[in-house]
Amino acid sequence: MTTSMIVGGCAQASRPGLAGAAPALAESSSLYRLASSSVRSTTVYESPTVSFALDRIDQRGLPLDQTYRRTATGKGVTVYVFDGGISTTHPELTGKVRTGFTAFPDDPKICNPHGTAVAGAIAGSTLGVAPDARIVDVKMVQCDKLRGTIKAIVDGAHWVLEDHKAHPGPAIANWSFIADTAQRIPSLDSAVSELRAAGIPVIVSAGNLDIDACHVSPGNALGTIVVGASAVATEQLADGATRTVDRRSPGTAFGPCIDLYAPGDSVLLPSLDRDNAPISQLWNGTSMSAGYVSGAAALFLETHPTATPDQVAFELKRNSTTDVVHDTRTTSSRMLYVGTRDAQLLARATPPR
């Protein structure tokens, strides 16, 4: 049986990261706009953003407008992040991270910046989808090997089940890792089933390998929400003109087992330098994409706190933008979308910055 696993397969972008604390935005807190439709009024939380990923997922199409609009903030939702440790002091995450389970008590608390980046995609103050969500650190990576074990994941899942009983409310499990590319892993399949039975959707990265996602565990476990990475690229047309399009990010798993695509190519997220000091940095990979989808699930669960995992998956797919991602090697695709019709109307009335 497979006993080790790869965390995310998510490499930092090859070009230099952006040093220093998270970039200051034009306004530090969300603006509140009330946009009305013929049916109802909806509060739209709006903030300028330097994150193309947030900018992309609140729009149906390109170009971008340097603004992030959504109708919730993730308040009251807990996201259990299974990873290699998460910074509790990064400015993007201060006050949002609770230390939870560790499979390796003698390890340093943080193995690398991967978990901090994923948590930042979910709930970062300026770089996350759901800035009012809360993160619980579930550490299942061994620092000297930079790998986790199947036992660590399963033990972490069982800890989450008990913690969720002690801290009830809407919750999500983010699994930004891959464990195997040749077989199913029954113990991970069972862990997914147990989490789902407790009302916790499991959102997983498809993997940064150019293979059919149907072969990748734990994404091939029944009931997971599988996320691939998208990129914004320039495409040349037959007449020599160019256009900007969404594409499957290079090296991302493909095929019909991917439920959603989300940005995962050179996305700006919180990170740590060699001394574990906070910086912001560009990241690549499906780990980050899964984080964005977990944040989107938190937005939905804020206003639908009793939704089942199946209902969360249905809503994410129902609300997605269909067939805009190129090169998915399947007949259809879904791009994550967190905006609303009201947000779209507001966007049309607001000129790009």
Which one is predicted more confidently, 179 or 25? 179
Question: Catalytic one among 114, 132, 205, 212?
Answer: 114
**What pLDDT is recorded for position 18?**
34
Domain-embedded: residue 199? yes
CB 75 within 8 A of CB 109: no
Q: 173 in helix, strand or coil?
A: strand
**Number of independent structural domains in the chain:** 1
The average pLDDT across 142-152 equals: 95
Domain-embedded: residue 180? yes
Percent of the chain with pLDDT over 90: 78
CB 333 within 8 A of CB 325: yes
Query: What average pLDDT does the structure give for the chain?
Result: 87
Domain-embedded: residue 3? no
**What pLDDT is recorded for position 7?**
52
The average pLDDT across 215-220 equals: 96
pLDDT band at 27 (very low <50, low <70, confident <90, very high): very low
Domain-embedded: residue 39? no
Domain-embedded: residue 27? no
Least confident of 120-134, 224-238, 337-351: 337-351
Residue 348, pLDDT > 90, answer no
Domain-embedded: residue 69? yes
Residue 244, pLDDT > 50, answer yes
Question: Catalytic one among 51, 205, 266, 287?
Answer: 287
Domain-embedded: residue 20? no
**What pLDDT is recorded for position 341?**
63
Which one is predicted more confidently, 11 or 65? 65
Burial class, 238, CB count within 10 angstroms (exposed 0-12 / middle 13-18 / buried 19+): exposed
Is the bond preceding residue 270 a cis peptide, omega within 30 degrees?
Answer: no
Domain-embedded: residue 21? no
Which one is predicted more confidently, 263 or 14? 263
pLDDT, one tens digit per residue, over 83-140 is 999 999 999 999 999 999 999 999 999 999 999 999 999 999 999 999 999 999 999 9
Which one is predicted more confidently, 24 or 235? 235
The average pLDDT across 50-77 equals: 96
pLDDT, one tens digit per residue, over 274-310 is 999 999 999 999 999 999 999 999 999 999 999 999 9
230-233 contacts, C-beta under 8 A, 24 or more apart = 230/261, 230/262, 230/263, 230/264, 230/265, 230/289, 230/325, 230/335, 231/263, 231/264, 231/265, 231/266, 232/52, 232/56, 232/62, 232/263, 232/265
| Tokens (6 digits) for 291 | 């984080």
Question: Which CATH number is 196's domain given?
Answer: 3.40.50.200
Residue 329, pLDDT > 60, answer yes
Question: Catalytic one among 65, 83, 246, 342?
Answer: 83
Structural domain boundaries enclosing 126: 44-349
pTM (predicted TM-score): 0.88
Angstrom CA distances, 175 to 140, 148, 182, 261, 336, stand at 11, 12, 18, 15, 17
Identify the residue whose tokens are 């691939």.
Answer: 228
Residue 287 a catalytic site member: yes
Residue 114 a catalytic site member: yes
d(CA 142, CA 156): 13
